[in-house]
Chain A
Amino acid sequence: MKKLLTTMVAAAACYAGVATAAEIKPAVVYDMGGRFDRSFNQGAYNGAEKYKADKGTEYRDFEIQNDSQREQAMRNFARRGMSPIVAIGFSQASALEKVAKEFPETKFTIIDMVVDLPNVQSVVFKEHEGSFLVGILAAMASETGKVGFIGGMDIPLIRKFACGYVQGVKYANPNAEIFQNMTGTTGAAWNDPVKGGELAKSQFDRGADVVYHAAGGTGVGVLQAAADAGKLGIGVDSNQNALHPGSVLTSMLKRVDVAVYEAFEDAANDTWKPGVSVLGLAEGGVDWARDENNDKLITDDMKAAVAKATEEITSGSLAVHDYMSDSACPM
Chain B
Amino acid sequence: MNDTVQLPRWIDVGVLPVINLLLALAVSGLVVLAIGESPSEVVEILLYGAFGYEEAWGYTLYYTTNFIFTGLAFAVAFHCGLFNIGAEGQAYVGGLGVILAALYLDFLPFPIMMIVAILAATAFGAAWAYIPAYLQARRGSHVVITTIMFNFIASSLMVYLLVNVLRPQGSMNPESKQIAEHLRLPFIHDMAASLGIEIARSPLNLSFVYALICSVLVWLFIWHTRWGYAIRTVGANAVAATYAGIEPGRYIIMAMMISGALSSFMALNEVMGVQHRLLIDFTAGYGFVGIAVALMGRNHPFGIFLSALLFGMLYQGGAELSFEIPTISNDMVVVIQGLVILFTGAMEHMFRPRVTKIYMAWHLRRHGQEAA
| Residues of chain A whose beta carbon lies under 8 Å from any beta carbon of chain B | 1, 4-5, 7-8, 34, 60-63, 65-69, 71-73, 75-76, 90-91, 94, 102, 113, 154-157, 185-187, 324, 327
Which of A4, A66, A185, A324 contacts B52 (CB under 8 A)?
A: A4
A73 with B48, Cβ < 8 A, contacts A102-B201, A187-B280 known: no
CB pair A90–B172 under 8 Å, yes or no, is yes
B52: chain A residues at CB < 8 Å are: 4-5, 8
CB pair B323–A62 under 8 Å, yes or no, is yes
CB pair A186–B174 under 8 Å, yes or no, is yes
B277: chain A residues at CB < 8 Å are: 94
A34: chain B residues at CB < 8 Å are: 330
A67 with B319, Cβ < 8 A, contacts A4-B44, A34-B330, A75-B201 known: no
CA A71 – CA B48 in complex, angstroms?
Answer: 19
CA A256 – CA B173 in complex, angstroms?
Answer: 20
> Interface centre among A1, A5, A67, A75, by most B CB within 10 Å?
A67
> Interface centre among B47, B274, B319, by most A CB within 10 Å?
B319
* Chain A to chain B: the 5 pairs with minimum beta-carbon distance, closest first: A185-B163, A155-B172, A66-B284, A90-B172, A8-B48
B62, CB-defined interface residue at 8 Å: yes
B203, CB-defined interface residue at 8 Å: yes
Which of B45, B51, B282, B330 contacts A67 (CB under 8 A)?
A: B282
B59, CB-defined interface residue at 8 Å: yes
CB pair A157–B172 under 8 Å, yes or no, is yes
Task: Give 28 CB contacts A-B under 8 Å.
Answer: A4-B47, A4-B48, A5-B48, A8-B48, A62-B322, A63-B329, A65-B319, A67-B279, A68-B203, A68-B275, A72-B59, A72-B203, A72-B319, A75-B55, A75-B201, A76-B323, A90-B173, A91-B173, A94-B178, A155-B172, A155-B173, A156-B170, A157-B172, A185-B163, A186-B159, A186-B174, A187-B281, A327-B170
| Residues of chain B whose beta carbon lies under 8 Å from any beta carbon of chain A | 44-45, 47-48, 51-52, 55, 59, 62, 159-160, 163-164, 169-170, 172-174, 178, 201, 203, 274-275, 277, 279-282, 284, 319, 322-323, 326, 329-330
Task: List the count of A-B residue pairs having beta carbons below 8 Å apart.
Answer: 72
A5: chain B residues at CB < 8 Å are: 48, 52
CA A72 – CA B330 in complex, angstroms?
Answer: 15
CB pair B62–A68 under 8 Å, yes or no, is yes
CB pair A67–B159 under 8 Å, yes or no, is no
A68 with B322, Cβ < 8 A, contacts A102-B201, A156-B172, A157-B172 known: no
B280: chain A residues at CB < 8 Å are: 186-187
A185 with B323, Cβ < 8 A, contacts A65-B330, A66-B284, A75-B201 known: no
Closest to A5 in B: B52
CA A119 – CA B44 in complex, angstroms?
Answer: 35
B160: chain A residues at CB < 8 Å are: 185
CA A156 – CA B173 in complex, angstroms?
Answer: 10
- What's the least CB distance linking A188 to chain B, in Å? 9
12 further interface pairs, Cβ-Cβ under 8 Å (given A65-B330, A68-B203, A102-B201): A8-B44, A8-B48, A34-B330, A61-B326, A62-B322, A67-B284, A68-B59, A68-B275, A73-B323, A90-B173, A155-B173, A185-B163
CA A71 – CA B59 in complex, angstroms?
Answer: 11
CA A67 – CA B62 in complex, angstroms?
Answer: 13
- What's the least CB distance linking B317 to chain A, in Å? 12
CA A102 – CA B200 in complex, angstroms?
Answer: 12
- What's the least CB distance linking A325 to chain B, in Å? 11
A67: chain B residues at CB < 8 Å are: 275, 279, 282, 284
CB pair B170–A68 under 8 Å, yes or no, is no
B163: chain A residues at CB < 8 Å are: 154, 185-186
CA A316 – CA B107 in complex, angstroms?
Answer: 49
- What's the least CB distance linking A206 to chain B, in Å? 26
CA A186 – CA B326 in complex, angstroms?
Answer: 29
A327: chain B residues at CB < 8 Å are: 169-170
CA A155 – CA B47 in complex, angstroms?
Answer: 41
CA A63 – CA B274 in complex, angstroms?
Answer: 20
Which of B45, B159, B170, B201 contacts A185 (CB under 8 A)?
A: B159
Which of B44, B48, B159, B274 contacts A68 (CB under 8 A)?
A: B274
> Interface centre among B164, B173, B326, B330, by most A CB within 10 Å?
B173
